[in-house]
Amino acid sequence: MSPHPRDARDAEPDKRTLRREFLLVRNALPEDDVQEAATVLARRALDLTELATASTVAAYVSVGGEPGTGALLDALRARGTRVLLPALLPDNDLDWGAYEGPDSLVDVRRPGRMTLSEPGGERLGRDAVLAADVVLLPGLAVDARGMRLGRGGGSYDRVLARLEAAGAHPALVVLLYDSEVVAHLPHEAHDKAVHAVVTPSGVRRF
Protein backbone atom coordinates (compact mmCIF):
# COMPACT_ATOMS: atom_id res chain seq x y z
CA MET A 1 0.00 0.00 0.00
CA SER A 2 1.09 3.58 -0.54
CA PRO A 3 2.11 5.63 2.50
CA HIS A 4 -0.72 7.54 4.08
CA PRO A 5 -1.01 11.32 3.69
CA ARG A 6 0.63 13.48 6.30
CA ASP A 7 -0.75 13.10 9.78
CA ALA A 8 -3.58 15.56 10.27
CA ARG A 9 -1.82 17.07 13.29
CA ASP A 10 0.92 18.49 11.01
CA ALA A 11 -0.31 22.11 10.70
CA GLU A 12 -3.91 20.83 11.17
CA PRO A 13 -5.11 20.84 7.54
CA ASP A 14 -8.86 21.17 7.06
CA LYS A 15 -11.16 18.29 6.20
CA ARG A 16 -11.42 19.25 2.55
CA THR A 17 -7.66 19.14 2.11
CA LEU A 18 -7.44 15.80 3.92
CA ARG A 19 -10.21 14.31 1.81
CA ARG A 20 -8.35 15.28 -1.35
CA GLU A 21 -5.10 13.78 -0.06
CA PHE A 22 -6.63 10.49 1.06
CA LEU A 23 -8.54 10.16 -2.20
CA LEU A 24 -5.38 10.73 -4.26
CA VAL A 25 -3.64 7.88 -2.44
CA ARG A 26 -6.70 5.61 -2.64
CA ASN A 27 -7.32 6.26 -6.33
CA ALA A 28 -3.70 5.41 -7.16
CA LEU A 29 -3.99 1.88 -5.76
CA PRO A 30 -3.59 -0.87 -8.36
CA GLU A 31 -6.81 -2.77 -9.11
CA ASP A 32 -5.18 -6.02 -7.96
CA ASP A 33 -4.47 -4.47 -4.54
CA VAL A 34 -8.07 -3.26 -4.26
CA GLN A 35 -9.43 -6.72 -5.09
CA GLU A 36 -7.05 -8.49 -2.71
CA ALA A 37 -7.92 -6.07 0.10
CA ALA A 38 -11.66 -6.69 -0.44
CA THR A 39 -11.20 -10.43 0.06
CA VAL A 40 -9.12 -9.98 3.21
CA LEU A 41 -11.46 -7.30 4.60
CA ALA A 42 -14.46 -9.60 4.22
CA ARG A 43 -12.69 -12.33 6.18
CA ARG A 44 -11.62 -9.92 8.92
CA ALA A 45 -15.06 -8.33 9.22
CA LEU A 46 -16.89 -11.65 9.35
CA ASP A 47 -14.85 -12.55 12.41
CA LEU A 48 -16.27 -9.56 14.30
CA THR A 49 -18.54 -10.69 17.12
CA GLU A 50 -20.92 -7.83 16.32
CA LEU A 51 -21.41 -9.05 12.75
CA ALA A 52 -21.57 -12.71 13.74
CA THR A 53 -24.51 -12.03 16.05
CA ALA A 54 -26.29 -9.35 14.01
CA SER A 55 -29.76 -10.00 12.62
CA THR A 56 -29.70 -6.85 10.48
CA VAL A 57 -26.68 -4.99 9.09
CA ALA A 58 -26.86 -1.62 7.33
CA ALA A 59 -24.04 -1.61 4.80
CA TYR A 60 -23.17 0.03 1.46
CA VAL A 61 -21.86 -0.87 -1.97
CA SER A 62 -18.26 0.25 -2.43
CA VAL A 63 -17.38 2.38 -5.45
CA GLY A 64 -14.12 3.11 -7.22
CA GLY A 65 -11.07 2.57 -5.04
CA GLU A 66 -13.05 2.22 -1.81
CA PRO A 67 -12.25 -0.87 0.28
CA GLY A 68 -14.48 -3.43 -1.40
CA THR A 69 -17.70 -4.57 0.25
CA GLY A 70 -19.07 -6.99 -2.37
CA ALA A 71 -17.65 -10.18 -0.88
CA LEU A 72 -18.76 -9.12 2.60
CA LEU A 73 -22.33 -8.35 1.50
CA ASP A 74 -22.67 -11.76 -0.12
CA ALA A 75 -21.15 -13.57 2.87
CA LEU A 76 -23.51 -11.82 5.29
CA ARG A 77 -26.50 -12.67 3.14
CA ALA A 78 -25.35 -16.29 2.89
CA ARG A 79 -25.31 -16.40 6.70
CA GLY A 80 -28.94 -15.38 6.79
CA THR A 81 -28.21 -11.82 7.91
CA ARG A 82 -30.64 -9.19 6.64
CA VAL A 83 -28.56 -6.60 4.79
CA LEU A 84 -29.85 -3.08 4.16
CA LEU A 85 -28.27 -0.84 1.53
CA PRO A 86 -28.70 2.92 1.10
CA ALA A 87 -30.37 4.83 -1.71
CA LEU A 88 -29.38 8.49 -1.95
CA LEU A 89 -32.26 10.96 -1.77
CA PRO A 90 -32.29 14.41 -3.42
CA ASP A 91 -31.62 16.10 -0.07
CA ASN A 92 -28.54 13.86 0.54
CA ASP A 93 -30.38 11.83 3.18
CA LEU A 94 -30.59 8.05 2.77
CA ASP A 95 -33.48 5.72 2.13
CA TRP A 96 -32.87 1.97 2.47
CA GLY A 97 -33.63 -1.25 0.66
CA ALA A 98 -32.87 -4.93 1.23
CA TYR A 99 -29.89 -6.54 -0.50
CA GLU A 100 -31.03 -9.62 -2.45
CA GLY A 101 -27.78 -10.40 -4.23
CA PRO A 102 -25.70 -8.68 -6.93
CA ASP A 103 -28.51 -8.92 -9.49
CA SER A 104 -30.77 -6.85 -7.22
CA LEU A 105 -28.54 -3.77 -7.59
CA VAL A 106 -29.12 -1.00 -10.08
CA ASP A 107 -26.63 1.65 -11.18
CA VAL A 108 -27.96 5.14 -10.52
CA ARG A 109 -26.36 8.12 -12.27
CA ARG A 110 -27.01 11.58 -10.91
CA PRO A 111 -25.72 14.81 -12.48
CA GLY A 112 -22.43 15.90 -10.94
CA ARG A 113 -22.06 12.74 -8.84
CA MET A 114 -20.40 9.39 -9.19
CA THR A 115 -22.53 6.45 -10.30
CA LEU A 116 -23.84 4.53 -7.29
CA SER A 117 -25.13 0.97 -7.04
CA GLU A 118 -28.36 0.96 -5.07
CA PRO A 119 -30.98 -1.65 -4.13
CA GLY A 120 -33.50 -2.00 -6.92
CA GLY A 121 -36.39 -3.28 -4.84
CA GLU A 122 -38.84 -1.77 -2.38
CA ARG A 123 -37.80 1.34 -0.51
CA LEU A 124 -38.14 0.85 3.23
CA GLY A 125 -37.89 4.47 4.39
CA ARG A 126 -35.27 6.54 6.17
CA ASP A 127 -36.04 4.96 9.54
CA ALA A 128 -35.31 1.41 8.34
CA VAL A 129 -31.73 1.85 9.56
CA LEU A 130 -33.04 1.95 13.14
CA ALA A 131 -33.43 -1.84 12.97
CA ALA A 132 -29.72 -2.39 12.31
CA ASP A 133 -27.55 -4.13 14.89
CA VAL A 134 -24.44 -2.98 13.00
CA VAL A 135 -23.95 -0.02 10.68
CA LEU A 136 -21.02 -0.23 8.28
CA LEU A 137 -19.94 3.32 7.48
CA PRO A 138 -17.97 4.42 4.44
CA GLY A 139 -15.04 6.67 5.19
CA LEU A 140 -11.66 7.95 4.09
CA ALA A 141 -9.81 7.70 7.41
CA VAL A 142 -10.19 7.17 11.14
CA ASP A 143 -8.00 8.34 14.00
CA ALA A 144 -6.89 6.96 17.35
CA ARG A 145 -10.11 8.17 19.03
CA GLY A 146 -12.34 6.53 16.43
CA MET A 147 -13.22 9.83 14.73
CA ARG A 148 -14.12 9.15 11.09
CA LEU A 149 -13.39 11.33 8.08
CA GLY A 150 -16.22 10.93 5.57
CA ARG A 151 -16.56 12.23 2.04
CA GLY A 152 -18.30 15.41 3.18
CA GLY A 153 -21.79 14.90 1.78
CA GLY A 154 -23.38 14.69 5.22
CA SER A 155 -25.55 11.65 4.43
CA TYR A 156 -24.16 9.53 7.25
CA ASP A 157 -24.16 12.45 9.69
CA ARG A 158 -27.93 12.40 9.21
CA VAL A 159 -28.07 8.66 9.70
CA LEU A 160 -26.05 8.88 12.93
CA ALA A 161 -28.20 11.74 14.19
CA ARG A 162 -31.34 9.70 13.41
CA LEU A 163 -29.98 6.72 15.35
CA GLU A 164 -29.13 8.91 18.33
CA ALA A 165 -32.52 10.65 18.34
CA ALA A 166 -34.27 7.27 18.35
CA GLY A 167 -32.11 5.89 21.16
CA ALA A 168 -30.72 3.21 18.83
CA HIS A 169 -27.17 2.04 19.55
CA PRO A 170 -25.88 -0.21 16.76
CA ALA A 171 -22.18 -1.02 16.52
CA LEU A 172 -20.56 1.49 14.16
CA VAL A 173 -17.82 -0.03 12.02
CA VAL A 174 -15.72 1.50 9.24
CA LEU A 175 -13.76 -0.43 6.59
CA LEU A 176 -10.44 1.13 5.56
CA TYR A 177 -6.99 0.43 4.18
CA ASP A 178 -4.18 0.23 6.74
CA SER A 179 -2.71 3.57 5.63
CA GLU A 180 -5.99 5.32 6.45
CA VAL A 181 -5.76 4.75 10.21
CA VAL A 182 -3.94 7.83 11.54
CA ALA A 183 -3.13 9.44 14.88
CA HIS A 184 -5.41 12.49 14.65
CA LEU A 185 -8.17 13.97 12.48
CA PRO A 186 -9.96 17.31 12.89
CA HIS A 187 -13.53 16.90 14.07
CA GLU A 188 -16.61 18.96 14.81
CA ALA A 189 -19.11 18.80 17.66
CA HIS A 190 -21.61 16.71 15.66
CA ASP A 191 -19.05 14.08 14.64
CA LYS A 192 -19.54 10.64 16.21
CA ALA A 193 -16.78 8.15 16.94
CA VAL A 194 -17.02 4.66 15.47
CA HIS A 195 -16.65 1.57 17.62
CA ALA A 196 -14.22 -0.32 15.40
CA VAL A 197 -12.20 -0.12 12.20
CA VAL A 198 -11.46 -3.15 10.03
CA THR A 199 -8.39 -3.05 7.79
CA PRO A 200 -6.60 -5.81 5.89
CA SER A 201 -4.17 -6.21 8.80
CA GLY A 202 -6.83 -6.61 11.48
CA VAL A 203 -9.44 -4.99 13.72
CA ARG A 204 -8.98 -2.04 16.04
CA ARG A 205 -11.62 -1.10 18.60
CA PHE A 206 -12.21 2.29 20.20
Annotated binding residues: 15-19, 61, 66, 148-156
Which of 23, 137, 139 is closest to 86 using CA atoms? 137
Element (H, E) at 85: strand 82-88
Residue 18 near residue 140 (C-beta atoms within 8 A):
yes
Residue 83's contacts (CB-CB under 8 Å, 6 or more residues apart) are 56, 57, 58, 59, 73, 76, 77, 98, 99
C-alpha distances out from residue 206 to 4, 6, 171, 196, Å: 20, 22, 11, 6
Residue 139 near residue 181 (C-beta atoms within 8 A):
no
Query: Backbone phi, then psi, for 169, in 5-degree steps?
Result: -135, 65
Instruction: Could you list the residues known to form a binding site for ATP, using ranges.
Output: 15-19, 148-156
Instruction: Could you list the residues known to form a binding site for substrate, using ranges.
Output: 61, 66
Element (H, E) at 136: strand 134-137
Question: How far apart (Å, rounded) are the C-alpha atoms in residues 111 and 104?
Answer: 23
